[in-house]
Amino acid sequence: MALEQSLAQLSLATVSSPENEKALPTKSLIFKPKTAKTATPVPIFVLALHDTTTPANIIAKSAGVKEPRLAKDDLVEEFFKTSTKEVSIANLSKDLEGKIKIVLDDNILKAAEKEELLKLSTQSSAAVLPAKTVVEFLKSTGIEIIEVDFSAEPATTAAPASASASANKKEKKTDAKLEDAKLIGITVDKEKDFSTWYTQVVTKGEMLDYYDVSGCYILRPNSYFVWETIQDWFNVQIKKLGVQNTYFPMFVSQRVLEKEKDHIEGFAPEVAWVTRAGNSELDEHIAIRPTSETVMYPYYAKWIRSHRDLPLKLNQWNSVVRWEFKHPQPFLRTREFLWQEGHTAHLTQEAAAEEVLQILDYYAGVYEELLAVPVVKGKKTENEKFAGGDYTTTVEGFISATGRGIQGGTSHHLGTNFSKMFNISVENPDGSDQPIFAYQNSWGLSTRVIGVMIMTHSDNKGLVLPPRIAQYQAVVIPVGLTSKSTDAERKQVNEGAEKIEQSLRSAGVRVTGDYREIYNPGWKFADWELKGVPLRFEFGPKDLAANQVTVVRRNDGKKFNVKLDELETEIPKLLDEMHDAMYNKAKKEFDEHRVLVEDWKDFVPTLNAKNVILAPWCGDADCEDDIKDSSAKKDDGEDEEVDEKAPSMGAKSLCIPFQQPELKEGQKCVKCDKKAVNYCMFGRSY
Amino acid sequence: MALEQSLAQLSLATVSSPENEKALPTKSLIFKPKTAKTATPVPIFVLALHDTTTPANIIAKSAGVKEPRLAKDDLVEEFFKTSTKEVSIANLSKDLEGKIKIVLDDNILKAAEKEELLKLSTQSSAAVLPAKTVVEFLKSTGIEIIEVDFSAEPATTAAPASASASANKKEKKTDAKLEDAKLIGITVDKEKDFSTWYTQVVTKGEMLDYYDVSGCYILRPNSYFVWETIQDWFNVQIKKLGVQNTYFPMFVSQRVLEKEKDHIEGFAPEVAWVTRAGNSELDEHIAIRPTSETVMYPYYAKWIRSHRDLPLKLNQWNSVVRWEFKHPQPFLRTREFLWQEGHTAHLTQEAAAEEVLQILDYYAGVYEELLAVPVVKGKKTENEKFAGGDYTTTVEGFISATGRGIQGGTSHHLGTNFSKMFNISVENPDGSDQPIFAYQNSWGLSTRVIGVMIMTHSDNKGLVLPPRIAQYQAVVIPVGLTSKSTDAERKQVNEGAEKIEQSLRSAGVRVTGDYREIYNPGWKFADWELKGVPLRFEFGPKDLAANQVTVVRRNDGKKFNVKLDELETEIPKLLDEMHDAMYNKAKKEFDEHRVLVEDWKDFVPTLNAKNVILAPWCGDADCEDDIKDSSAKKDDGEDEEVDEKAPSMGAKSLCIPFQQPELKEGQKCVKCDKKAVNYCMFGRSY
């Protein structure tokens, strides 16, 4: 009764009395989780103290939903029959049971225990109620209530950062139980819930953050540094080939974009269009490049007039936009991504073909030399090649945790298809009327490489960064100081740690020191493990006395001492050893999970055991489709959208590896009765 | 009569007879020049031999129009009452006199002299007519006819490239008269027609090419190399300050974009909007960033939780889009441009203010150390500062050929305006409830710097590149070989030239060699002067004998010999000397044209004499507006759009220079009666 009366007050004017002024202000927020277009959303009603921060990622985790966002007016109206600004618990009732969820701030339960008052406000009104009454009312609705201690949970990306005053209090607890460090770390197992694990690793490792526009992500300094390192390395290689960097506009007119039909067919559904500038509608709609073939080639036609203008070799580092509507995934499938795209034109097919393979070697080099990720080089089938080109070569990686293949980078030979379309030609030196059309290549490598690297190496403690691309290769942490330590001891240890930093720096090692006094060493260890820093240097009074430092390798946890005067010689070597160890481990996994299958009966079981497959194949496109269909788990009858990422999906051809097992005399295709022409690598893939 | 009959045939089927097959094929093209939206366009009818290349830039120059483009169907229909594919001279008549212009290929006049036949074709028909008849018919219409020798005119961007077979024939002529080298070079005087000169220099120097989408340009390798050099240099500086590079998405939702009102007001009319992806209209329209304050700051609020998270210093190298509707200009005003934008958050105002000036020094360094361009550092007035910020500091350049100032790069202190809007705050260490809002800066430098550099140094022979940013700092050209030279001499000279390349390369000089046998040395000299390469090495039999090489400096034409064994020591020094000489020359010009004016009566005359002005000023925004209005030439009564770029425009405040002349006791403002508070630099500007 009291409740109903009080709720009725919500429609009345604001409340003011000495008692009411002590009431704790609250907020009511409606979130909409990410939901398939065809499904009915289940909104989340969040009731929290006004001062409680309620990050979306914690709501997501607590309520077991994906990417909750503040709901729009129409959804609020639909479920709560009022506007976003007016919604309150007064709009909750038994009718909503099973249709929404409630997330309840733990502080409100505490307020109920302490018999405190809550102030419930909407834009136009307010009411004051005992917290206990509110909690009872919520329970009476029958709606599922999820109680959340927001202060105990970390915000996604701010592990140590969020730990300000409250972290300070919890420090002792963290110290006592190191397993509690997981609170700021990874909370799920890579092998058991790969998808959540990956999201946690990329965000908590501060590689990336989720962004306000779906499918777009923020590349934070930790990952952008990887990209810069790749740029520097790759630029050196291609400049040796005479490639020059350039920048073409991001916009392309519809007429030009659509010039090459096969090509545009592949991209058309994903092209983002600019139709308005300021308040003016544009006469002609303008596309944002999904790739730059049609952007660049009209100018190649203009610049290439004689065979002396060939070869023309240009490259650009830019971003492209492919507005995919399904399942964005950090680094792997994003609506805007960074890449390089090389576009070259040659007088002869031979010169072009040679370059295609040279570039592919550089792509393999990025993976193997920088990211410590093994790849298999090969050629794409006709089904999988670049639309509009002659053939596509590729480097293919493997994610052992999921048993899936992943395309790493592609180098295409376009033949004369585009040059004929755009008239990129030179006079024929034999004097005939027929011009010679240029032989063209295009080749691209994107920030997806960073995702492949993370998936390959990282573990349940967080990121594991290969040393050559780590922004910080080493962190120095003072240890062994207690409340009993003297100021002199403290000073000696800190100064010693700083000297270690200097030694490493002068040996060319990228190093940082962690002297934050508010955190204890255990917390710091976990924090830097989460961020994947390859080497941890622990330096305390005992190390000082022994003129050494304790070193811990992130990749395998090995711990040992290094004499201080050997740092400059030993550590650079050690970093190279770690690179090799990481590469070899990943290579072993890939090699062991690339299984030769000749009988179809073994195909799907092998696939289901998290392998990719090397199988004799007839080379027929229909047979390839058949393999894909037959290796997919069957529809269970429900009318659901097929998720390309689900483990049930069929095996695609990944590539025809350059390195081929020898075909036996009369070997048949793994799937059909035709004669095999080569071995093809098949797998479920990203 | 014969004419009219023949023209009638154009509507008949194709013609075939032995005589007609000798007829020279022609083409009829309709171009539409760039025209103000309110004006009626004057299309250009181009009649040319089919094999004549008719580049838009030559048509532009010959017909005295801007940016002619192939006309769209509706325009052709409007003027010629037929489609683009069917238009021919049969559609010309007296009615079009004064409404269109005809550009007539010189080769058609020659064909008339030689009494040859022309074949006039449309998509559906063709006719054969004596060339003479065609010319007479054209003259009979009364339409203005512009005769153009396309083969004598250079295509904008393909000076040597276009010169294939025909260039070969003309080679001797080029050699005989070196002044003819100008045919492939700049054809107008920098001082007399700066705008055309600039367009020619940027395109013929292969820095940039015009693009299919208006206001967007292609950065060719020559200019992109400058940008990469700036990136490398600037990255080193900012990394010393602890700035990290990052990449935020190019898209921003309307809600977020519009969060800071003052800020968005400045950008709203120029924002490009994506409203469609593939065939789907987007629920929420998405903007392309015009700058990233509102893109980034919500995440700063998320990441910054405690004072230990400050300072946060991020920078990104990206492109931004400002869809300006007026007067695009290569490098200076483009719809998409590359830049870096730094965004930092600090705990104290002092730390932020110190960084603002530090960054400004780096911007001055880019200009002075790399581009050899002098700048004046100062503070923007309230009228001219960055919308939403506290104050703006700037480096200002000067283009002596036009006497106009040019903004070079700006470093803003935002105060706590954005941090309050986005709640970027940390707890107060004094324990009070009031959070501390972060003090923020943002600072940006764009590819406009390249335009300033070109305008400052280049001359009537083409580009002049400062040595530190030139992709090629030197070119080696074999000389003195004639048809009488023996193979042995030829070999010795070429090998000697290659050795010079090697010496220079080992001294760290970026060098190329020009061994193209189809061009003679004179042509090559002009070509490399056009492209601005700082040093030319001429090496011939006499040099070989004397163990020396002839060196020519691009900046001042000085010519001298260097002993071969002194190259490695002398040339790097020489390049530094040239840098200093270029800087000092430009500095002298700026200093001499920055004139101190105290009386208003001297203000406009001084401005008109191509100076910028340093004047005592009251600091009042209304007075600033008054100065601008009063220094503009008056409207002549015609209802024309005001062109901001015209010399008639008023003087803006450029900056309040940090280096101030001393104010005299009681000094009054140059314009009003109020007391002057400091000296302000005023000028017409870009």
Q: Of A321-335, B107-121, B535-549, B628-642, which range is least confident?
A: B628-642
CA–CA gap between residue A111 and residue A131 (Å, rounded): 6
What is the structure's pLDDT at B645? 46
What is the distance in angstroms between the Cα of B279 and the nearest Cα belonging to chain A?
A: 7
- CA-nearest of B536, B494, B491, B540 to B511 is B536
Can you read off the two tokens belonging to residue A160? 């140590």
Check CB contact under 8 Å for A280 and B216: no
Residue that wins the pLDDT comparison between B254 and B440? B440
Percent of chain B predicted with pLDDT > 90: 64
pLDDT attached to residue B40: 82
Asked if B557 and B550 touch (Cβ cutoff 8 Å), the reply is no
Task: For residue B54, name the pLDDT band (cuts at 50, 70, 90).
Answer: confident
- Kindly state the average pLDDT of the residues B85-103: 88
**DSSP helix/strand/coil, A277:** strand
pLDDT tens digits along B282-309: 988 999 999 999 999 999 999 998 888 9
Lookup: tokens for A397: 């990686």
Domains, chain B: 3-148 (3.90.960.10), 200-424 (3.30.930.10), 474-591 (3.40.50.800), 597-638+645-683 (3.30.110.30)
CA distance A236 to A229: 11
Mean pLDDT in consecutive groups of 10 residues from the start of chain A, 686 residues: 47 46 85 80 91 85 85 86 85 87 91 86 79 88 87 47 36 34 74 92 96 94 98 97 98 88 82 93 93 95 92 98 87 96 98 98 98 98 92 97 96 96 90 90 98 97 97 97 91 96 97 92 95 98 96 97 97 98 98 97 94 96 94 53 55 97 94 95 95
Least Cα separation, residue A246 to chain B (angstroms): 5
- pLDDT at position A1, please? 38
Cβ A336–B250 below 8 Å, yes or no?
yes
Residue window 292-311, chain A: list those with CB within 8 Å of chain B.
298-299, 302-306, 308-309
Chain A within 8 Å of B218 (Cβ-Cβ)?
yes
Distance from CA of B388 to the nearest CA of A (A): 19
8-state DSSP, B180: G
In 3D space, the residue among A609, A554, A257, A290 whose CA is nearest the CA of residue A422 turns out to be A257
Nearest to A275 among B224, B251, B276 (CB): B276
Range B528-546 average pLDDT: 97
In contact, B108 and B131? CB cutoff 8 Å: yes
> What pLDDT shows up at residue A98?
85
Residue A422, min C-alpha distance to chain B (Å): 14
Distance between A245 CA and the closest CA of chain B, angstroms: 6
Is the pLDDT at B682 greater than 70, yes or no? yes
Higher pLDDT, A68 or B614: B614
pLDDT tens for B68-87 read 888 888 888 888 888 888 88
Residues of B within 8 A of A55 (CB-CB) are: 302
pLDDT at B648: 63
Nearest CA in chain B to A55: B302
Tokens 């181009």 correspond to: B46
Average pLDDT over residues B544-566: 97
Q: How many CA atoms lie within 13 A of A318 on its CB side?
A: 26
Contact A600, A591 (CB under 8 A): no
Beta-carbon contacts below 8 Å between A and B: 187
A249 → closest Cβ in B252, B303, B336 = B336
Q: What local confidence, expressed as pLDDT, does residue B208 receive?
A: 96
3-state SS of B377-444? EEECCCCCCCCCCCEEEEEEEEECCCCEEEEEEEEEEEECHHHHHHCCEECCCCCCCCCEECEEEEEE
Answer yes or no: do B221 and A314 touch at CB < 8 A.
Answer: yes
Q: Using a CB–CB cutoff of 8 Å, tell me whether A598 touches chain B.
A: no
pLDDT tens digits for B487-521? 999 999 999 999 999 999 999 999 999 998 888 99
When pLDDT is cut at 50, 70 and 90, the band that residue B457 belongs to is very high
* Per-residue pLDDT at A18: 55
pLDDT tens sequence across B151-194: 765 544 333 333 333 333 333 333 323 244 445 688 889 988 99
- Using a CB-CB distance cutoff of 8 angstroms, which residues of chain A are in contact with residue B280? 325
For residue B17, name the pLDDT band (cuts at 50, 70, 90). low
Transcribe B115-152 into DSSP letters.
Answer: T-EEEEE-SS-EEEEEHHHHHHHHHHTT-EEEEE-TTT
Contacts of A539 (CB under 8 A, 6+ apart): A476, A477, A478, A479, A493, A496, A497, A500, A549, A550
Q: What is the pLDDT of residue A7?
A: 52
Please write the tens of the pLDDT for every residue from B357-386.
Answer: 999 999 999 999 999 999 999 999 999 999
| Confidence (pLDDT) at A433 | 82
Q: Does B336 touch chain A (CB under 8 A)?
A: yes
Interface of B with A in 226-245 (CB under 8 A): 227-228, 244-245
Q: Residue B518: closest CA among chain A residues belongs to which residue? A: A308
Return mean pLDDT, chain B.
88
Closest CA to A440 of A500, A362, A386, A485: A386
| Predicted local distance difference test score (pLDDT) of residue A645 | 47
Q: Is B465 in contact with B533 (CB distance < 8 Å)?
A: yes
Q: Residue B562 pairs with which residues in a beta bridge?
A: B549
Cα–Cα distance list, A341 to B41, B198, B216, B456 (Å)? 39, 30, 19, 33
